[in-house]
Structure 1
Amino acid sequence: MLRIIALIIIFILFSMCLDNHKSGESMEKGKILMVIAPKDFRDEELFIPMEVFKEHGYGVDVVSTQKGTCVGMLGGKIEVDKTIYEINPNDYIAIVIPGGIGSKEYLWNNEKLLELVREFYRENKTVAAICLSPVVLARAGVLKDKKATVFPTKEAIEELKKYGAEYVDEGVVIDGKIVTGKSPEYAKDFALAIIKTLG
């Protein structure tokens, strides 16, 4: 009887060790920082990549320019308890910026976000943006002489070219550690491309 109890205890301890090892593996993959506009971010460009990242074992932190409830263009909501002003880039392996019409209003000219993008780029970490948000990368200066795509409005395309990017009319474009996506339809492909750059 004692032997059976001992074996059960050993089995339980072994299972716990396996569980810890698995969670350790997922933690080792690192965390991805996603930055959204507090209002009118594009829902699919946040929620689909976030799910893909988690499925592949990455941690995800979602931040904005302010704390509270962020609301997407399609009505999706997410609670954000940290702002970009509290971020330490050393805690993350990539920065990902979903788009939506709120990107132009809240993100294009945000100096703190532009500096964060530059820091990730300098550290050779993955920098990614989709829809209207590749303009943030352009204004941060990291798209110079790089191939990139963006939501095809005249203004957005001109912004990319103005800052030295080579505009490519494709769904997803990878150039080194920089990933850009065109529109919500490519949200999953965009996420998978980001994972590819994380190696």
Structure 2
Amino acid sequence: MRVAFLVAPEGVERVELTEPWQAVGDAGGERVLISTEPGEIQSFDHLDKAASFPVDLTVAEASAADYDGLVLPGGVANADDLRTDAGAVAFAKSFFDAGKPVAAICHASWTLVEAGVLRGRTLTSWPSLRTDLRNAGATWVDEQVHVCTSGPNTLITSRNPGDLKAFNATFVPAFGG
């Protein structure tokens, strides 16, 4: 199992990157950190700077064809930055076009709103995204983790860091781990 993790250069919620990253590693999977810029990304613990992590590839260098699935960690600034980057949006959309599973937590669904892939889908997120998701044609539910198979791929979503255990236990097997 080879999994792409897409994050912005700054603002990803640290635990929403590191815990799914660890879960993929524990399952024997290969993890690739992809961002819009080379170098390192800066994670946050809510509003406080946390650890930095080296970028493996930029979105310009990456292709969905090389991965079994995509993980979109949250973080308000992370998701807001990604949704304004055409390359990041196209990369996320390419997983839907290829019928590959996508897992998104917390605010990460903003990138999927921008990609135009949520119409007719059911998902959960941080509650403040509810209106954005409904306006994008999705049905929003308040659940720890939700698996939607009513589209071209499996979409696994979760609300917040408190849901990470259930999120990881759901997306890793769906990705083949």
TM-score, with length taken from structure 1: 0.79
Give a deviation string over 1:14-50, Cα, whole Å, max 9, x none.
xxxxxxxxxxxxxxxx210001121121011100001
Three-state SS of the structure 2 residue aligned to 1:132 is helix
1:77 equivalent to 2:56? Answer no
| Alignment partners' CA distance in 2, 1:141 and 1:33 | 20
Letter of the aligned partner of 1:70 in structure 2? Answer: I
Q: Is the 8 A contact 1:172 1:180 kept in 2?
A: yes
Larger relative CO (CA 8 A, sep 6+): 1 or 2?
Answer: 2
Larger fraction in strand: 2
Contact 2:122 2:140 (8 Å CA) reproduced: yes
Instruction: List aligned pairs for 1:184-199, cutoff 5 A.
Output: 184-199=161-176
Residue 173 in structure 1 maps to residue 146 in structure 2: yes
- Opposite residue 113 of structure 2, the aligned amino acid is A
Contact 1:137–1:143 (CA<8 Å) still a contact in 2? Answer: yes
Q: Which runs of 4+ in 1 moved over 3 A?
A: none
Structure with more of its chain in helix, by fraction? 1
- Is residue 7 of structure 2 the alignment partner of residue 36 of structure 1? yes
CA displacement, residues 31-72 of structure 1 (integer Å, 9 cap, x when unaligned): 100011211210111000011011111110011111122111
Any gaps of 5 or more consecutive residues in structure 1? Answer: 1-29
CA deviation string 1:83-128 (max 9, x = no partner) = 1111021110101110112224311222212212222112111012
**Quick one: distance in 1 between partners of 2:97 and 2:40?**
31
* Residue in structure 2 matching 1:121, options 96, 105, 111: 96
Matched, 1:46 2:17: yes
RMSD: 1.4
| Identical columns (%) | 27
TM (normalized to structure 2)? 0.89
